[in-house]
Amino acid sequence: MSKILTNPDGNIKLELKDDRLSAWLTIKKDNRLIDEKDILDLLEQAGIKNGFEEAQRYMQKHSMEKDFDIPFPLAMCSRVQGETKLNYYFNLNQAKQRQREIHLNDLANLTRIEEGTVIADYNNDIFDRQGSIYDIYGEMLPDEELDLQAAQQIAGENVIFDINRQQYLAECAGVPRVDEEGRISIIDKVILKEDISYPAEIIRSPISLEVVGNIIGAQIAVAGNLIVQGDVIDSRISCQGNIQVQGDIQNCQIPGLEIKGDVHCKKIICSKVLCYGELTFSELIKDSEIIANNGISGLSGWLKGGHTESGGNIELQNLGEPEGKLTEVEISISPWHKAALMQLTRRMIQLKKNPVANTAEIEALNARIALCEAELDEALNKFLQRPPECKLKIIVNKEVFPPVNIRLLKNEYIIKERKPYLEILETD
């Protein structure tokens, strides 16, 4: 209930609202004179110190006049409902227009946000409020209590709301999107429903990308996973995650495909594939250079010709070329790092032909070489500390067509005759 104060004569009434945001004065009409001192005494008794100018503005805005028997505001402080401000730490206009399906030209406008990043929060800065900082008694107004349930509903896909810090955080890397209802989401993959065919420039995607079409004659760098629903032909691809090609990989020569995750495909033909994870194929690898650090799985696949090197087990359905072309297969320790060191060394030789002009790049390349050497040493130590039962192997479940040269660590095997089955285990 409001608190009512009156003067000794009872003809002046001051009503103090419970929300501490306004005081209303009523002057009764009678034959007695109004003493201004009575009004000042009521103000002093109530302890009102703030809001007089705002009360005047309120009366002017609403065309109010001071009249007998009608309450009018003597002091007033505004408190804007919902004034707790939500700060966005990304381009809000772009986020409102963003969709999962994009066009090729849209990739350049995507800005990646890393996992764990604070993408929005509520501002409690008192000087950033839209309403009053103090109540009519001169005391600072507490910040409006946040509606936690409503705040949590703003967190959309791949976004969490930290109740204690009143922050929205990205659960994964991606780009922000705000829908029509104000929900904040992180899009971790964009979809391109068109072919990428001989683009003029390098295509860069800051997040995972799905191409509903073919990739032909392109140079692509993806900071995430890559899904291709068609073929990859005559292209160079660098991918920081996994790659899944539902069609074929064809004629992707040096440097070919460099994948930091796993590779899943049907066919690899006349291509170079450098895979840090496991390579899985379902049909054919033919006349290609393959390096797979964590093994090769082709339970229904056929490996023909070329050179294939793995850091893990190799399991195939068929091995070798029936027409008599040589097929080379090898299991070694961390072939990824050895191949990477070879590439880096070749690049260093080129740069040192003009060391003055390439000083900065040489320094950066030296750092990459040192890191790669350290990772290779770590991989070697891990290999040497394996449990005794963890032995590497090569298995061919159906037929082997000679000639096939196999090397499993330090041991070499030359297959000169056709075999219906092959299993080679690591020996001490």
SS percent in the chain: helix, strand, coil, step 5? 20, 40, 40
Amino acid at 228: V
Contact 406, 413 (CB under 8 A): yes
3-state secondary structure 147-212: CHHHHHHHECCCEEEECCCCEEEECCCEEEEECCCCCEEEECEEEECCCEECCCCCEEECCEEEEC
Q: Which two tokens stand for residue 360?
A: 């900065």
For residue range 110-152, list pLDDT tens digits in order: 989 999 999 998 865 545 555 566 788 888 766 556 677 888 8
Query: Residue 82 has what pLDDT?
Result: 44
Strands 307-310 and 327-331: parallel
Strands 400-401 and 12-16: unpaired
**Residue 266's beta-bridge partner residues?**
none
Amino acid at 234: D
**What one-character-per-residue DSSP string does 20-35 give?**
SSEEEEEE--SSSPPP
Strands 327-331 and 400-401: unpaired
**Rounded Cα gap, residues 208 and 127, in angstroms:** 41
**Rounded Cα gap, residues 148 and 140, in angstroms:** 23
Contact 293, 335 (CB under 8 A): yes
Strands 215-216 and 232-233: parallel
pLDDT < 70: residue spans in the chain: 1, 79-84, 123-133, 141-146
Contact 289, 270 (CB under 8 A): no
Helix (H, G, I), strand (E, B) or coil at 107: helix
For residue range 353-381, list pLDDT tens digits in order: 898 888 999 999 999 999 999 989 998 89
Query: Residue 83 has what pLDDT?
Result: 46
The tokens 């000679």 sit on which residue? 402
Query: Residue 69 has what pLDDT?
Result: 85
Q: What is the pTM of this model?
A: 0.74
Contact 83, 128 (CB under 8 A): no
Phi, psi for 273 (deg, rounded to 5)? -130, 120
Q: Which two tokens stand for residue 347?
A: 């690049």
